[in-house]
Structures are given as structure tokens and as C-alpha cells.
Amino acid sequence: MDQLIVLKSPTLTLVKRSNASIGAFARKGAPLITLDDTGEQAAIATQQANVNTLIKAMSEFTRVETDNRMRVHKRIREHLTKAVDSAEALVRLTKLRHEAGAGSVFAVFEALSMATGYRQQLIAAQYESTKTARGADQGFRSLTLMLERAHAELAFTRQVIDRLTIKAPVDGYVRWLLLAGAPVSMGGAVVRLQVASG
């Protein structure tokens, strides 16, 4: 069977290299023509830089750093819990003194105000602590997803580059091919291959 097949370019570009010569026998999968990949190589460089940036961001987002921050939060909470206990004791005392006629109502207000202030600080500290823990977890998962995506984009561009090498889809003889430097349009013929019989 002398079937002649035309291999076409998947994109508008230049022929970078001819890997075969006219009349040569090509085995299935052998590279015949390599198309220009300057744009894709530039994309690879950008995507690699993106991967590096994300890896750096993740390394700065370490568990150790989060643990340190959580320890600080814990110390603040402990300190404020003691402060609240003391302030509440003072409120009880000033109330008793006032009700016994021995202390001013302003002293009660003052003590209440202080206790309320500490309680608010404690709630705020608890809030911050939970927020830090949750934020660290969510941030790390977001970065992981972004890194996965960046790796996938890199793999995609490498596959695109791989497809810029036109390979013989079947054993055959090269009957015609474009030479290095030749421009080619999308769908334009780059190689004519005569399918080897048998």
C-alpha cells in the first residue's frame, strides 16, 4: 500500500529544525520536524519563576512560625485570664464596701470598667488566637492549591512544547519536508510520509 500522509503544523510558526531527510525511513514515533518554541520557552521561564515564588512563600509559612505565634497568643490569654479574675474580685469588694456605706459608687464604676476592659481584651485575644490558627490552616491550603496549579501549568506548557515536535505516526518514508527556518501556517503541511507497506 503506497498511502501518502500529510503531517501538518498545529500552529503558525517557523521550522526550528529538520530531524530527517528526504528518502529516509522513519520509524513510528521518530521526530521529523521540530517547530519553533520561543514563546513557549518564555512561558516556561515565567511559570518556573511563579513556582519558585510560591515555594518560597510556603517555606516562610512554616508550622514552626505558626506554633510560635500560637504560643504567644496562649501566654496573652493566660495573662488576661488572671487579670480578669483579679478585676472581678476587686468589683465584688468595692460593691460590698459601697453597699456597707464605706465606699463611693465611683469606685464601683471604676472597678467595673476595669473588669469589663480586661474581659473585652480576653475575648479579643481568644478571637485572635482562633483566627490565627484557622488563618494559618486556610492560608497553607490555599498556597498548596496555588502551587499545584503552577506545577500543572508548567506541565501543560511542556506538553505543548512536546507537540511542537512532529513525529512519524507510523513507519514510513519521508517524501517531502520543510527545512529549518521555513515559515508554516496552522494546518500547513510540514512532512509528507509514504506509509511503509507490511
Binding site for other proteins (CB under 8 A): 5, 7-10, 95, 105, 108-109, 112-113, 116, 119-120, 123-124, 126-127, 130-131, 134, 138, 141-142, 145-146, 148-149, 152-153, 156, 159-160, 163, 167, 169-170, 186-187
Strand-strand pairing, 165-167 and 172-177: unpaired
Q: Is 170 helix (H, G, I), strand (E, B) or coil?
A: coil
In this structure, are residues 145 and 46 in contact, taking their beta carbons and an 8 Å threshold? Answer: no
Cα–Cα distance measured from residue 57 to residue 53, given in angstroms and rounded to the nearest whole number: 6
Coil/strand/helix, residue 137: helix
- Phi/psi region, residue 73 (left: phi>0; alpha: psi -120 to 50; beta: rest), is alpha
Measured distance CA(15)–CA(19) in Å, rounded: 11
The Cα-based distances of 115 to 74, 85, 153, 164 in angstroms read 20, 8, 56, 73
Here the cell at position 156 is 501543560
